[in-house]
Amino acid sequence: MTEPAFEPRIIGFLCNWCSYAGADKAGAAQVPYPPHVHFVRVMCTGRIDPHFVLQAFAQGADGVVILACHPGDCHYKEGNLRALQRHRLLLRLLGQLGIGEERCRFDYVSAAEGDKLAAVVGDLVKMIRAAGPLPVRPEQEIGRD
């Protein structure tokens, strides 16, 4: 019997003003991209609390992606810079917790870049497929009875 193919579950936090509109654009233009990313729309990537990302992994997401307005284009001036700063720091923390960089991505997608959105998502899904499912803790980890 063959194992069922691994279909990654990925959570995407997309800025309303750019990347989410970019995803709409990709949809409207019928640019195909894999369906594994569950998009969560945020008003700005600066709104993304690191808790959201940890919570996604704690609940079994195989990957997380944050898509922001290009540098200089954030509607709230520096929200995307703060998001990137938090992301770079979170990567260090995640690394120590056994979650590699390939599972937590940050990129810029504008409202016009439907093609880029599809490319980023496609690439991410490929990388996470290669990395495999997020390791899970054994059910009875602290109990032996």
Partner 1 sequence: MANKPQLSIYWAASCGGCEIAILNLHERLLDLDAAFDLVFCPCLLDTKKKDIEALPDRSIALTLVNGALRTGENREMARLLRRKSQLLIGFGACAHQGGIPALANLDPAGPLPAIYLEGPTTPNPARTLPLPETTVPEGTLQLPPFLGRVAPLAEEVAVDYFIPGCPPEPEQVWKALDPVIQGKPLPPLGSALGAGRSAVCAECGRRKREKKISRFHRTWEIVPDPEQCLLDQGLVCMGPATRDGCGALCPQVSMPCTGCYGPPEGVADQGAAMVAALGSILDIGPITGLSPEEIAARIDEVLGSLPDAAGTFYKYSLAGSLLKGRLP
Interaction site with partner 1 (CB under 8 A) = 49-51, 53-55, 57-58, 71-72, 81-90, 92-93, 96-99, 108, 134-138, 140-144
Q: Min. distance of Cβ 45 from ligand FES in angstroms?
A: 4
Q: Is 79 in the site for ligand FES (CB under 6 A)?
A: yes
User: Which range, of 28-36, 57-65, 69-77, 133-141, touches ligand FES by CB under 6 A?
Assistant: 69-77
Question: Which of partner 1, ligand FES, none has residue 74 at its interface (CB below 5 to 8 Å by kind)?
Answer: ligand FES
Q: Is 45 in the site for ligand FES (CB under 6 A)?
A: yes
Q: How far is the CB of 22 from ligand FES (least distance, A)?
A: 11
Residue number, 30 or 140, with CB nearest to partner 1: 140
Per-residue HEC secondary structure of the chain comes to: CCCCCCCCCEEEEEECCCHHHHHHHHHHCCCCCCCCEEEEEECCHHHCCHHHHHHHHHCCCCEEEEEECCCCCCCCCCHHHHHHHHHHHHHHHHHHCCCCHHHEEEEECCCCCHHHHHHHHHHHHHHHHHHCCCCCCCCCCCCCC
